[in-house]
Amino acid sequence: MKKLCDTLLIPLLIIAQATWAAATLREVDIDGTQMRFEYSQAPTQEGHRASLLVKDAEQRELWSHSWEVEKSDLIQMMDEAGRSSAEEWGRRFFDNKPFQHATFERRKLTTQDLAPRYLAFHAKSLKVSAAALQAAILEPKVNFTFTYLGAWREELYQMVYVPKYRRFVQFTGYPGEE
């Protein structure tokens, strides 16, 4: 079976503060092309600054998101995930453990999985109708989804890759949110 991922751990030093980054390559589309997922975090006065970037093989940006994590929220998430430090949290971001960090999954999404408000938001940025975006999401036989935690435990980002638009879009939030 073809190996789908390689994870890299990259310790960095920026202004004498420890910054941790993790990267993984994932086969997202049926053409076998791997995309690079990069996560980094750096300490701040209030907690940590986190950043997630997804690029395709041509280095085009498919998704970018940055957020602040307060110390108390990070401590709670680390405790729930069994992580001993913020550095371990960053290094193990792509461990593929549900509700701990980031998870990757291949599954078939249905109309019921797609939250209308997220479709409307991303359709507007893509300059297409929500119906066109929904059709593009539902077109593949199997969807590649990527889920990750944001600033706190309940801030869950559930993304799907849309081959027609070569982008990731958020298809819903926390389970039961809508």
Q: What is the pLDDT of residues 27-43, one digit of tens each?
A: 887 777 788 888 888 88
Q: Are 24 and 34 in contact (CB under 8 A)?
A: no
Quick check: 133 pLDDT over 50? Answer: yes
What is the C-alpha separation between 90 and 160, in angstroms, rounded? 23
pLDDT in tens, 41-89: 888 888 888 888 999 888 999 889 888 888 787 777 777 767 667 667 6
Please count the helices (runs of H) and the strands (runs of E) in the chain: 4, 9
pTM beyond 0.85, yes or no: no
Q: Are 171 and 118 in contact (CB under 8 A)?
A: yes
Please count the other Cβ atoms lying within 10 Å of the Cβ belonging to residue 82: 10
What is the C-alpha separation between 37 and 25, in angstroms, rounded? 6
Q: Which residues of 101-125 are buried (b: 16+ CB within 10 A; e: fewer)?
A: bbbbeeeebeeebbbeebbeebbee
Quick check: 137 pLDDT over 90? Answer: yes
What is the C-alpha separation between 110 and 138, in angstroms, rounded? 7
Domain ranges of the chain: 7-172
Among the listed residues 33, 163, 7, the one whose alpha carbon sits nearest the alpha carbon of residue 93: 7
Tokens 């990069």 belong to 38
Structure confidence at residue 98 (pLDDT): 53
Among the listed residues 126, 135, 128, the one whose alpha carbon sits nearest the alpha carbon of residue 169: 126
What is the C-alpha separation between 132 and 141, in angstroms, rounded? 17
Q: Phi and psi for 139 in degrees, rounded to 5?
A: -65, -50
3-state secondary structure of 104: strand
Among the listed residues 75, 34, 73, 67, the one whose alpha carbon sits nearest the alpha carbon of residue 51: 67
For range 120-132, the mean pLDDT = 95
pLDDT category of residue 136 using cuts at 50, 70 and 90: very high
